[in-house]
Amino acid sequence: MKAHAMNTGMLAVNTAAPTQWSRKPGLDLIRAIAIGWVMLYHASIMGLIADPDRWFLSFGWMGVDLFFVLSGYLIASQLFRPFARGQSPDYRQFFSRRLLRTLPAYTVLLAIYFLAPAIRERASIQPFWQFLTFTENLLIDVDRRTAFSQVWSLCVEEQFYLIFPIAVVLLAAQPSARKTITAIVSVLALGIVVRGYLWLGHVSSEAFDPTGTPGALSYMKLIYYPTWSRLDGLLAGISIAAVEIFRPSWWRKMTWRPNILLALGSLGIGASMLWFGEQISTLYPTMFAFPLLSWSIAALVAGASDGRSLIGRYNVPGAKALATGAYSLYLSHKIAFHLVAPAGDGSPDWLHLGLALSLALAFGAVLYWCVERPFLRLRDRLDWGCYSGKVVAVAAAINCSAAAPARGGEASTTDVAICRSGTVQ
């Protein structure tokens, strides 16, 4: 009877594919806002929006920080959840998922930029090898405007995908809340110090003069683009993921009033905009407004992830579609804008802007459905194969352990073969 019960339990093991996290409307809306803000910001730079309409759009670069916080939150969640179940992350699966997520669409756009230079938004472009190695953000030539420059943020994220799993392995060797909090605070403080030193020593018009005027080119090269200066958003996303997974009681208290988090996050973003004043900022905003912006966005993400919040409760029409195609849109929209932008000294107008956005959406849709989506489906199929193989192996082990008692204490040759093959018959 005992053996029968164990066999029955084995047959009841769930072999269904792991369900994808259900989409959260609030996070979809934030991602949609991020890509929309970035696209309109680039449209203003490329002469598609008139000067009087640009104040809010001049902060569209903050849309990238929205992406950074979301990436930190979602990627950290993927690596943290196995630990919460008493397991270790499958790092091989993690890296394969990341490669299938980012490389196919990126490779297609990279080929277009280098094989069809006539349609790219700028004549000059960084060397091909920098795009292959995802080092464009560290070596970018700010003295000239280059094409495909939006890839700098993808470089930051790809470097993050390599470094963060190593940090997780090191922290998991002897896990403790104190060690984790120390690591987070240390990285946060290091970013503040590095930005302050670079601004004072290399950006200010007068070396080590806090009241100096920042140089635009040196600011972009040393502070805006490099990974070492832009970890705040990723770090904030990682932090809220850690709280949600490892301290659920803290998370419940923190999100008990999710709309308050939305309000605080929105106020913090507004305060960051006022403090920065403009993209090329003075010393103290450069040091401290980046963390303020990132942690404000983290509050927004935490509130939006809760289904009770104002933006987490409802599906805003179009938000899911924009969020789903955000990566393809981010890669391809500048080409569309270039093809439609007024020639020479032509004045921007709503017609050109509407055509540019429509063409960008069309390009993004083609890239998503023809390139990105097929590889995402392949990734999901590979995930199912890996998952089902593990379930079958566990079921086989249960079956083998039950076989010996059922037959008087000895497992048969067939039982051993089943165990070794990892199959259940």
- Among residues 361, 360, 362, 369, the alpha carbon closest in space to that of 337 is found at 360
**Orientation of helix 326-340 relative to helix 25-45, angle to 10°:** 20
Residues listed for the chain: 425
The token pair at 185 is 């605070």
* Cβ contact 306:255 at 8 Å: yes
Residue 130 has pLDDT above 70, yes or no: yes
Q: What is the DSSP string of 279-340?
A: SS--HHHHHHHHHHHHHHHHHHHHHHTSTTSTTTSS--TTHHHHHHTHHHHHHHHHHHHHHH
Residue 9 has pLDDT above 70, yes or no: no
Q: How many CB atoms lie within 10 A of CB 409?
A: 7
248 vs 347, which has greater pLDDT? 248
Q: How far apart are CA 337 and CA 351, in angstroms?
A: 12
Q: How far apart are CA 128 and CA 295, in angstroms?
A: 35
Q: How far apart are CA 391 and CA 12, in angstroms?
A: 11
* Cβ contact 212:281 at 8 Å: no
Q: How many CB atoms lie within 10 A of CB 274?
A: 9
The token pair at 38 is 């970035």
Can you give the pLDDT at residue 220? 98
- Condensed to tens digits (0 to 9), the pLDDT of residues 225-280 reads 999 999 999 999 999 999 999 999 999 999 999 999 999 999 999 999 999 999 99
pTM flag (> 0.85) = yes
Percent of the chain scoring above 90 in pLDDT: 80
- Condensed to tens digits (0 to 9), the pLDDT of residues 362-405 reads 999 999 999 999 999 999 998 766 655 554 444 444 444 444 44
- Condensed to tens digits (0 to 9), the pLDDT of residues 108-120 reads 999 999 999 999 9
Cα dist. 329→341, 358, 388 in Å?
17, 11, 34
- Condensed to tens digits (0 to 9), the pLDDT of residues 14-25 reads 333 333 446 899
* Secondary structure tally for the chain: helices H, strands E: 18, 0
7 vs 200, which has greater pLDDT? 200
* Cβ contact 71:159 at 8 Å: no
- Condensed to tens digits (0 to 9), the pLDDT of residues 44-55 reads 999 898 875 678
CA angle 93, 111, 335 (to 5 degrees): 110
Q: How far apart are CA 345 and CA 276, in angstroms?
A: 30
Q: Using CA atoms in the order 334, 340, 345, 348, what is the torsion angle rounded to 10 degrees?
A: -90
